[in-house]
Every structure is written in structure tokens, then in C-alpha cells.
Structure 1
């Protein structure tokens, strides 16, 4: 059984979604992670390692946003620390190109982030690494990504149907400029990112609520049920009803479908 500890940042919560520690003290555990708009900086602690899909990870990594399922395997006695950032959240701290890390995990060496061999306590470790990442913050790069930040806030938390054209008009920008910024920072177009946001909204509701699928589709911003099913299948190769059934079966068998934290 995985033990998960999370800590919400005191600063830059519009960039850093949370800090987390996962520890597996028992049998090998596999976690299926659905497509996600988050970036993770991950540090295996001590001699810990884990498997991402079919590749073993033994050193600090950056995981980019994903448009596909990924399976993480945690052996017994594994402990890893992570910093989960929004899709645009990495750029004000470290200038990685979005396309460089999208749908993959790459080893990294970041200044001030040594291999973690020991620590006094989990809370002390979180505080130390929170202070370290904040030391890399760039105001100029933060100001550069503000249109993407505003885009995410608009499309993630607005239950009404919103169009990119209207967003561009309201924010006094044009799609060409917005697309250029998205390609640089995130690695995908605004339109594709908007589709990922809608998918994650629907996924969150399927996992955490008792709403009917028809309501979930509408509340996630889809035009109709056919649109909802088509887009959901694009990301998971399953219909919403098939995925909901799989979750129920997994709950009965005590399997872990995702490390949720609370999907957003």
C-alpha cells in the first residue's frame, strides 16, 4: 500500500500545484496514471528506484505533460519525492522546452538539487526543496507565461462553454501569438491543451463524483454526449462508461488506477 504525503506551497501556488512524497513499504505496486497536464520534478530518495512504463528510474527526473497513460511500478522499500507543477509552471524556474519533456521522463541535474541520500524528516525535506526551487524563480519568465496561466484559469474553472477566439479577444491577443507561446512553453497548441483540460475535468468527475455521465460531459464543456465520448476515447481508448466500470472493478480488487491526490 502506498503512503502519500502532500504539502501545498506557501508561495507561487499558481505555478506549483503541490509537493509530494510517495513511500511503498510493502509489496510491489503498480499505478496507472492517465493523461495529465502536470509536470513533475521527481527525486528518488537514497537507493530507491522505480519503473516508468518499461524503464527503470534511479536518478532525479523531469516528467512532462502526457497525452497517454503511463504505468509506474514501485518496488518494496521505495521512497520518492516530487514537485508537481502546472503545465506552464516549470518555465519561470527552469527553461526546458515543452516539446523536450512532453510524454517522457528525462534525467536532470539541477543546481541546488543534490541526490537525496538522507533527511531528518519528510517535512524538513519538503521545506528545504521548496526553498531551493524558489531560489530559481525568474520574474521575467513568469511575466512571459501569464497569458498561458490566464488561459488555464479560464478554461479549467469556468463551467460555461468558452471559446479560444473569445479568450483571445478578451485578453487582447491573437491566436498566432498565443500558439507561439504555447509551443515554446508547453509543447502543444492552445486547442490541444484545451482538449486536455476538458478531458481532465471529466476524468475528475468520473472518479470523484456520482454525477450521471451526461451531466459530466456537459459540465466539462463538451457540446453533447457524442463529443464527450469521442474526446474521451481519444485520450484513453475507452468510453467514459467503460472507464467508470473499470474503476469500480479496481476498487473491489483494491487496485490503484491513479495516484489521484485529487485530480484537477
Structure 2
């Protein structure tokens, strides 16, 4: 398993957290889980294998170009054969700047990006497969995103509102009611919640919980703090509150998490 991250150009830095290359090559299926990150991603499979997700009692093969919506419930996936996943990870509120569809409809699912992006995505995928180097592939992906941002940019005032609210929700010392945040931003609570959901697919409260969970996940992976200390450092009311939230987003207790057997830390926007 090989994972690398790459930074976008200056024009895309406010929208793209990173590009990444995730390569897995195994003779037996490699199985893992994805947890809530608050971010959406687009992935192009440039390998010869298959990328699959679990739907109930069976695995289904993903499309060759896939859009990952907001994953809220833990999602099991597996890699079969040789997969080279070239991806773009958006910030929690920026995928909406590249898509015309309602962001929330993609929650807890993987969608065929060919269907959403049309012929342009098909052409890009073919170009990525034919590119001679990683640098060429990154340039192709970046040019596509720049073009989409130009043609599908949303209202700037709404974007700035969500950006400002997210900064407040991400503070370690944030314990306020979201109504107070709306008041400081000069908008009604209803308007704030509507715009926030429009851009992120999440309510402000759920986003705040995911952000706090990701902070706790990184600390659990370090394996050098007690659960009580992690709960305190991450802003939970107590240890039981922390464990309850951790179970909600992973399906198991923090004491059962094995970072050496998981790829979820790669995708964490909080690292």
C-alpha cells in the first residue's frame, strides 16, 4: 500500500485540500473501512484492478471514476488486484463549487462521476490513462478543475459565510450555540443552516461532531494518551460521550482501533 499527497496550485488552494495517489496491489482482496471526514473526493482508477464497496451482504464494483459523497456511516471497501487511485480531496464546503447537483444527495454513497460530469470526465479519464508521468496526470486533473471552477462557481457571499462558520466550528474552544454564530455573521439561524447544508451536505452540528471525531481519531492512533485525556483534549463532555461518538462514526470502541491495519488516517483532513 502506497500513499502520497500533492498540493494544488495557488488558485485552487482555497478549494482543494490535496491531490493524492493511493496504490494497492495484492493477490488477495485488501479490505478496509472509510469513516466520516467531512470532505468529499473524486477518484480516478488508473490501474487494472477493481475497487469495491459493501452494500449490505455483498460487494459491488465501483465505476472507474467515482465521486465519494459525505461518508457519515462507516463504509467498508476493498481493493482487488492492482489499483492506482488518483484523487482530489475537497475541503468540506468546496465540492459544491464544482458541481451543479445538490451535494446532500451524494451522502453515504459512491456515485459514477462520468454520469455527473459527462463527456468531459470521460475525456479526462482517457487522458490520465495515456499520460506518461504523474506530473502530467496532476496537470491534467488540475486544468480540469480550474475549468469547472470557472464555469460552475457559486455565489461568493454564501461561500464566505460557510467558510467563516466552519472556522468557528473548528476552534478547539468552541462550545457555543450555533444561534450565536448566526448572530455574529449577521444572518438568521435558518439561513445559516440552509446555506451550510447546501455547501457541505451536513448540518453545522453534524459537521462539528465529525471534526471533533477526526481530532480524536488522530489522537487514538498515536496510542500515547488515555481515553479520558483524549476526551478532554478534543472537547467532549466526558469519556463516555467520546466513546459513544467514536462508536457512532466507526462501529466500534476506540480501544479496538488498529491504525497499523487501516488507511483511514490518510484521508483525515485534520492531520
TM-score range, shorter chain: 0.7 to 0.9
Larger helix fraction of residues: 2
> What are the within-5 Å matches in structure 2 for residues 1-264 of structure 1?
2-11=1-10, 12-27=12-27, 28-45=29-46, 47-53=48-54, 54-109=59-114, 110=117, 112-113=120-121, 114=123, 115-116=125-126, 117-137=129-149, 138-156=152-170, 158-163=171-176, 164-208=178-222, 210-240=224-254, 242-243=255-256, 246-247=257-258, 251=260, 255-258=261-264, 260-264=266-270
TM-score with structure 2 setting the length: 0.84
Q: Any idea what the Cα deviations from partners look like across 1:21-48, whole Å, max 9, x if unmatched? A: 1222333322222222110111111544
Gaps of 5+ in 2: none
Cα 1:131–1:142, aligned 2, differ >3 Å: closer, same or farther? farther
Which SS does the other structure have where 2:192 is aligned? helix
In 2, are the aligned partners of 1:20 and 1:83 still within 8 Å (CA)?
yes
In 1, are the aligned partners of 2:94 and 2:199 still within 8 Å (CA)?
no
CA-based RMSD: 2.2
In 2, are the aligned partners of 1:44 and 1:81 still within 8 Å (CA)?
yes
Gaps of 5+ in 1: none
TM-score with structure 1 setting the length: 0.86
